[in-house]
Chains A and B, each alone.
Chain A
Amino acid sequence: MKGELAVKELLSGNEAIARGAYEYGVRLASAYPGTPSTEILEYIGERYPEIKAGWAPNEKVAVEVAAGAAYGGARALAAMKHVGLNVAADPFMTLSYTGVNGGLVLVVCDDPEMHSSQNEQDTRNYAKFGKVPCLEPSDSQEAKDLIGEALNISEKFDTPVIFRSTTRVSHSMSLVETGSRTEGTVELGLKKDPVKFVMLPAMARRKHPWVEQRMKDLAEYAETFSYNIVMEGSKSIGIIASGIAYQYAKEAIPEASFLKLGMVWPLPEKLIKKFAASVDRLVVIEELDPFFEEAIRLMGVKVEGKALTGMCGELSVEKIEVALKGKSSAESIGSIDAELPMRPPNMCPGCPHRASFTALKKHKLYVAGDIGCYTLGALPPLGMLDNCLCMGAGIGIASGLARSLGDLAKGKAVAVIGDSTFFHSGMTPLLELSYNGGATTVVILDNRTTAMTGAQHHPGTGFTLREDPTICVDLEKLCESFGFNSVRLVNPYNVKELDKVLAEELNTDGPSVIIARAPCALLKTGRILPDKPLYINTDNCTGCKSCINTGCPALEYVKEDRVVKGKKFKGYSKINQSLCVGCRTCFEVCKFNAIEEAS
C-alpha cells in the first residue's frame, strides 16, 4: 500500500460496494432505488465526486447508461434490487453477446425472506440464463474487494459481471480495510466495431459460440479464482456455501470442511469434485434455489442440500444447526405468554396517500395498485388495494379490466400509481390506455419523491442525485400529450373535492387521469402541511370512528361509556399532539364538527 496506513472502517455492504466502485476506478454509476440496493448510489453520490452518478428512471435505463460508459472504455456500475434485473433483462441478455470494453458490473441485491419485496427470485439463475459470471460477497470487506475482481474479470473476459448481494450482506456492517483510488486502464474513446457491438442476426450468430467459449474459459478461471477457497476441517462433513449462507454455516458447524465460493457462476467443477472426494458427506448450504446443488448433482457428485434447509425464506444459524445437528445450541430464557398485536409498517401521520385513499374508499372501487408507500393502503383499516403485481402494472391491469369487462367494470375500477413509479414504468401503459381506450381512471399519487426507499429524487422533482437543479417533468402536459384532454389536478387533503372529481371522472365513457398532488409528509422542502396539530372537541365526538378508519397513527380510539348531549356513546377519538401535523384528512371526514384547528 505504498507506506499508507491501512484503515479499518465499520461499513455496511452497500457502503463497501460504493467504496469499491471508488477505489477500483468506476467512472459512471446509475441506478433506480430499490431496497436493499438503494444506498449504493446514495453513498456514491454523497462521497465520491470522481464518479459520474445519477438516478435513472428505471433499471433498464440504468443498465443501458452503464453499458454506454463501458462501451466507451470507462469502468461502470449499475445497481438494482433483484426484480430490477427483470426490468433490465432485455439489455442484460444481449450485453452478454456484445461484451464490454471498460469493466461493467451489475450489482443486484436479492431479498431472501422478502423483507421489502414482492417475490424471492434468486439472481444466480440470471447469470446462468444470460451466460455471464456472477460473484457473491459474504461480508463488507469482500463486497469491496469483489467489486475490483468483478471489474477485472469483466475486462479480461469481455463480459458484464453480475455482483449478487443479499439483504443481510447489503445491510450488515462489518470492518473494511480501505485504500485509495486506482483508475481503469482501458483507453477511453468512441470505439467503432460493428461486428462486436451491432447485434444484427449475422453478427449475433457469430457471437453466440464466442459466448459459449467465454463461459468455458471462465469456468477454468474459477478453478483457481482466489475467492473460491477450501478450508480444511473435519472429513466427516464438507459444506459448499457462498455469501451470507457461508457465514451462517461457518458459525453453525465450525468444525466442518468448507468450500467457500466467491464466484457463484460458472462453477469450478474440478475443485468441487476434489473437495467432494475429500469428505464423507457433502452438503450445500444455499439460500433460495438449489442452484449449486443441481449443478453439482449434474457433475455426477452425490450431494445433499434443499432437503435439509428448504427452498423458502432466508437461512439462519439456527436453521442450519437444526438441519445438521438436530437442535439449536442456544438456550433461550423462553417466551412470555401474551397476545401481541402486530406492528406492521403504516403510512405516516399526514401522508397524502391516506387522504387519497379516504376519498377513493367512498366510491367502493376496485383498485389496481402499484409499488410504493401507497401499497400500504392494502392494510386495514383502509384496505384499498385489490392487486399489486410489479412496478407500473396497475395501469395496464385497469386497462385490461375495463376493456374486457365493459359495463361490469365501468365506473368501478381505477388504477393508482406514484410519481416515481409512473416515471419508472407507468408511462407506457398509460399510452396503451389512451391508444386503445377503456372506461377507467388513473390516479397518479404525486408526492414529489420516491418515498418508500427514503425520498430519492426522480425526473419530476427538479433535482439530481447530488441535489443539483435540473429539469422537472410537467406531469399534466405529459399526460395531455398522450391524449388525455382534461387532466384533473387535485390537492388530496381536500378529501371532499377529490371525492367530487372522482365521481365526475368515473362517470365518463373513456379513460381519464387525476393527479393527486401533495408532497410526502416527511419532506422538508415544498411543505404545504401546517405542522399544527388538530384537536378533538369531545363535546361533539360521538365515537363514530370515521376519523379512526383513516388509519392515521396520530389518532386513538378511547373506549369509555359516556353521554354526549343526552345520547349514550361507547368511546371517543383522541389526537396525539406530538404526532399530528395538521393534514386535515380526519377533519374532512368528520360529520359532527368534532375536529378543530388550534385557535
Chain B
Amino acid sequence: MSPDKIYNVLIVGVGGQGIILASDVLGRVAARHGYDVKKNEIHGMAQRGGSVSSHVRFGKKVNSPIIKAGEADVLLSFEQMETLRYFPFLAKNGQVILNDQKILPPAVFTGQQEYPAGIIEKIKEKAPKSVVVNGSEVAREIGNPKVINVIFLGILSQYLDIPANVYEDVLKESLKPKLVDINLKAFHKGRSLAS
C-alpha cells in the first residue's frame, strides 16, 4: 500500500441509528494510530429520521473531509435501502458491510411507494464479497441490543490496517466502566464475522 494512501470509510443509515457515534470512535482510533484524520457529517434537519451519512478519511495528510463518488474503500451501511442510495460512493473494488435491517421511509409506511425488493441480491451481484450481518440478532446473542455499532466496528476493523488493540484502547476510554466488557466482546464478535 502506498504510504500516501488515504483510507475512505463511508458510514450510512438513518438518523437515530448511532452512525455519528460509530464514526467518532473510528476517527479517534485513526488519530490514535498516528494518522491525519478528517470526518464529516450533516447535522440539523438530518437528525429527524432522515438519511444520514458520515465520512471518515485518514492517511498521511488529508485535505477534503468529504469522500467523493467512487472513492470509498468501505461502505458500512446500517440500513438496506440506504446502501443503494450511497452505492456509487464505493470504489470499484470497495467493500460493502451491511446491517440486515429495513427502516421504512414515509412514502412506504403511508402506502404510497414500495420498499425496493431483493436489495441484498443486487448488492452481491455487483460486490460479491459483501458482508451482510443481522446486527440485532448478534447483539441479542451477546446480551445487549445497544452494541450493534460496536459489532460493525469489529467487522470494519478487519478491512483497515489499524491493529485491534488501538480500537480496544479507544473503546475503554470512551465507555462507562460497566459497559467496557460487553462492548469488547461485541467488537471481537464482529472481527470474527468478517469474511
Contacts and interface: CB of A to CB of B under 8 A. Distances in A.
Interface of A: 8, 10, 35-36, 115-116, 139, 167-168, 171-175, 244, 247-248, 250-251, 316-318, 328, 330-336, 338-348, 373, 376, 379-381, 452-454, 545, 548-549, 551, 553, 555-557, 559, 571
Interface in B90-109: 90-94, 104-109
B31 A341 contact: no
Contact of A559 (B37, B48, B89, B111): B111
Given A453-B44, A557-B109, A250 B104 contact: no
B127 interface: yes
B42 interface: yes
Interface in B42-71: 42-51, 62-66, 68-71
Interface residues of B, number: 60
A70 B177 CA distance: 44
A327 to B, nearest CB: 11
Contacts of A343: 14, 49-51, 81-82, 85, 105-106
B22 interface: no
Contacts of A331: 70, 91-92
A63 B24 CA distance: 33
B97 to A, nearest CB: 14
A338 B126 CA distance: 13
A333 B90 contact: yes
Contacts, number: 182
A549 B105 contact: no
A247 B40 CA distance: 13
Given A330-B68, A376-B48, 15 more contacts: A116-B42, A168-B66, A172-B38, A316-B68, A330-B71, A333-B90, A333-B92, A336-B122, A338-B116, A341-B113, A341-B115, A345-B45, A347-B48, A548-B109, A549-B110
A373 B40 contact: no
Given A175-B37, A333-B70, A453-B44, A553 B31 contact: no
Given A335-B87, A336-B87, A559-B111, A452 B44 contact: yes
Interface in B24-46: 24, 27-28, 31, 36-46
A345 B110 contact: no
12 contacts: A8-B31, A115-B42, A175-B36, A316-B64, A333-B70, A333-B94, A336-B123, A341-B108, A345-B47, A348-B49, A373-B48, A548-B110
A99 to B, nearest CB: 35
Most central of A335, A341, A343, A348 by chain B CB within 10 Å: A343
B68 A115 contact: no
Nearest to A376: B48
B84 interface: yes
B183 to A, nearest CB: 20
B88 interface: yes
A341 B28 CA distance: 34
Contacts of A348: 48-49
Nearest to B93: A333
A340 B50 contact: no
B64 to A, nearest CB: 5
B164 interface: no
Contacts of A251: 63-64
B44 to A, nearest CB: 3
The 7 A-B pairs at the shortest CB distance, nearest first, are namely A332-B70, A116-B44, A330-B70, A557-B111, A35-B44, A345-B48, A172-B65
Interface of B: 14-15, 24, 27-28, 31, 36-51, 62-66, 68-71, 81-82, 84-85, 87-94, 104-111, 113-116, 119, 122-123, 126-127
A530 B122 CA distance: 42
A338 B122 contact: yes
A251 B50 CA distance: 30
A332 B88 contact: yes
Given A168-B40, A247-B64, A316-B68, A333 B45 contact: no
Contacts of A332: 69-70, 88-92
A317 B64 contact: yes
Contacts of B62: 174
Nearest to B113: A341
A561 to B, nearest CB: 14
A247 B63 contact: yes
Given A345-B15, A557-B110, A171 B42 contact: yes
A546 B114 CA distance: 20
B50 A345 contact: yes
A346 B48 CA distance: 5
A168 B42 CA distance: 8
A115 to B, nearest CB: 5
Contacts of A379: 106
Contacts of B64: 244, 247-248, 251, 316-317
Contact of A317 (B47, B49, B66): B66
A247 B65 contact: yes
Contacts of A175: 31, 36-37
B46 A171 contact: no
Given A175-B31, A328-B69, A248 B110 contact: no
A10 B31 contact: yes
A332 B92 CA distance: 5
